[in-house]
Amino acid sequence: MPADPTAAARPQGAPAAESAPVLEAEGLVKRYRDREALRDVSLSAARGEIVAVIGPNGAGKTTLLTILAGILKPDAGRVSLGPREVGWVPQQPALYRKLTVAENLRLFARLEKASDPELEVKRMLELTGLLDRSDDQVAELSGGNRQRVNIAIGLLGHQRVLLLDEPSASLDPRQRERVWEFVLGLAEAGTAVVYSTHNIQEAERYARRVLVLADGELLFTGPARELKDVVQREGGGGGGDLEEAFVAFLRTRGH
């Protein structure tokens, strides 16, 4: 079969053709007493699409992801998928350090009520590329490998959507690259990925679309290049990389 001539031109995480969203959230609101952590935030993600959520500290990024994961209930709005239909990977690895890689996967497969836990463990070891480390204690793994196991646990139920909160935080550049190779492989296989990050270069490099949150408000959604175009048209500078445009964009909107 001939290679797809448009593949090289597509951004990272872009599906070959536009498809219906596998995840939709509409009008999400979350309040903590008199503070609105989210104000009427909507988003979607298609099969194989990678979406980055960026914003300053306290913007509402983690609140948004935990609502999408079904951990928090919104005060208003709706999410199209239930908690068991999405894979959730928090910033801190949810692993038992004294158990082996295989034992961690087996434990979580049973908690997820997998019909065949051993088959699921084998599948995940192959997916993570850690078959040769299956009997190693998690405590002995590098940070990047621990994160790969953490992501695999989030996908034990064959979920079509993966939510990642700061997936490369505290990883060195080589570990980050290996984790992202893994995540990009998942997206190529059709998994929709939504992740938060403070690493703006990571958003520009891997995401098909970026969402900019500030003080709980969704200020922008679209490709990174469009955010840079907006800043340039408004005379705010940001002619360089996405980080420069992002800072200029927030400044022009009073954040």
How far is 104 from 73, CA to CA, in rounded Å? 28
* H helical segments located in the chain: 61-68, 101-111, 117-128, 143-154, 173-188, 200-206, 224-233, 242-252
The predicted pLDDT at position 236 comes to 65
Can you list the domains of the chain with their CATH numbers? Answer: 18-222 (3.40.50.300)
Q: How far is CA 206 from the centre of its chain?
A: 10
How far is 71 from 82, CA to CA, in rounded Å? 10
The predicted pLDDT at position 154 comes to 87
Reported pTM: 0.86
Beta carbons of 152 and 105 less than 8 angstroms apart? yes
How far is 190 from 146, CA to CA, in rounded Å? 23
How far is 77 from 82, CA to CA, in rounded Å? 14
Q: State the 10-residue block means of pLDDT for the chain, 255 residues long.
A: 36 54 96 92 96 94 96 96 91 87 94 88 88 94 89 86 90 87 92 94 94 96 92 73 90 87
